[in-house]
Amino acid sequence: MTNPIAVGDQVRIAMEDDNIHGIIKEICDRENYVIRQSPRKKHFLHILAANIDQAILIVTIKEPKLKQGFIDRFLLMTEPYDIPVHIFFNKGDIYSDDDLAVYAYLKEIYDKIGYNCYIISAIEEKGFQQLNKLLLGKVTLFSGQSGVGKSTIINKIAPTLDLKTKILSNYTGKGQHTTTFAEMFKLEDGARIIDSPGIKTLSFNHLEVQDIAHNFKEFFLASVGCKFQDCMHRNEPHCAVKAKIETAEISELRYQNYLQLIEEVEDQNYWERNTQY
């Protein structure tokens, strides 16, 4: 673990004689946490936040271009603890009709399985009424890929924070890190938000293949109808998940992302088993 103590942790401390400084003696049991493979040390884990009520995932369809698979990778971190996630598509002021069609398509997919989607724009001041209502009285993790405008949105919610922002790289068209470490802020209405660093990639060295299947929640619910209890919804006969994909009850797009993650975890586990000595 790269960070045994995470933002959101509750701890017990012992004060020193000066009654100013203290030493952490114990980390209290966590209600939940959001964990990922460390981006720098792939054999280690990194906790993004602990003891949160919900997560706000900021994405955008353009500038930078949406990598839709990132949404499902993020949900793979929150679903094990049933952490509610709301998906905000930022920079709505620059969306073309084609972009809005993509948004409508994705909204239909994710709303259907319990992840509400919204369009938000700091320039048009659109979407902030819904966002502010969601934040009331809760501890909320803000996350997203680098460059999606997360810090700009937080500055709009709480201007006194004055978080640093950057434009996209002109060379790569990708986002640049502005937040370098996770930090919790208390808002005037008592809500707490955790601003986390922008994420470049998400990998999962701590997961097994079954973890992927169990945490695509519509797949898990449908799997009770599969012929085999350990069905992985690939080539097995009488698979209820694949049947629902054929009737469009389950998203083909989500299924393709699922297959990619399954393959990635299998390859990773195979490599680790065959390189141990």
Pick the CATH number of 209-273 from 1.10.40.50, 3.40.50.720, 3.40.47.10, 3.30.460.80: 1.10.40.50
pTM of the model: 0.89
Which pLDDT score is estimated for 273? Answer: 58
Q: Where are the beta strands (DSSP E) in 126-234?
A: 139-144, 183-186, 192-195
What are the sequence ranges of the domains in the chain? 31-195, 209-273
Q: What is the mean pLDDT of the chain?
A: 90
Which pLDDT score is estimated for 36? Answer: 86
Q: What is the mean pLDDT of residues 159-183?
A: 61
Whether 178 has a pLDDT exceeding 60, the answer reads: no
Q: Are 47 and 8 in contact (CB under 8 A)?
A: no
Q: What is the mean pLDDT of residues 192-211?
A: 87
234-276: pLDDT as tens digits:
999 999 999 999 999 999 999 999 999 999 998 876 556 566 5
Which pLDDT score is estimated for 270? Answer: 57
Which pLDDT score is estimated for 173? Answer: 47
Among 94-103, 187-196, 201-210, 266-275, name the most confident range. 94-103
Which pLDDT score is estimated for 189? Answer: 86
- Topology annotation, domain 31-195: Rossmann fold (3.40.50)
Which pLDDT score is estimated for 197? Answer: 86
Which pLDDT score is estimated for 132? Answer: 96
Contacts of 226 (CB under 8 A, 6+ apart): 233, 236, 238, 239, 240, 241
Among 40-54, 161-175, 228-242, name the most confident range. 228-242
- The DSSP result for 82-150, as a single string, is T--EEEEEE-GGG--HHHHHHHHHHHHHHHHTT--EEE-BTTTTBSHHHHHHHHTT-EEEEEEBTTS-H
How many Å apart are CA 240 and CA 231, to the nearest integer?
A: 9
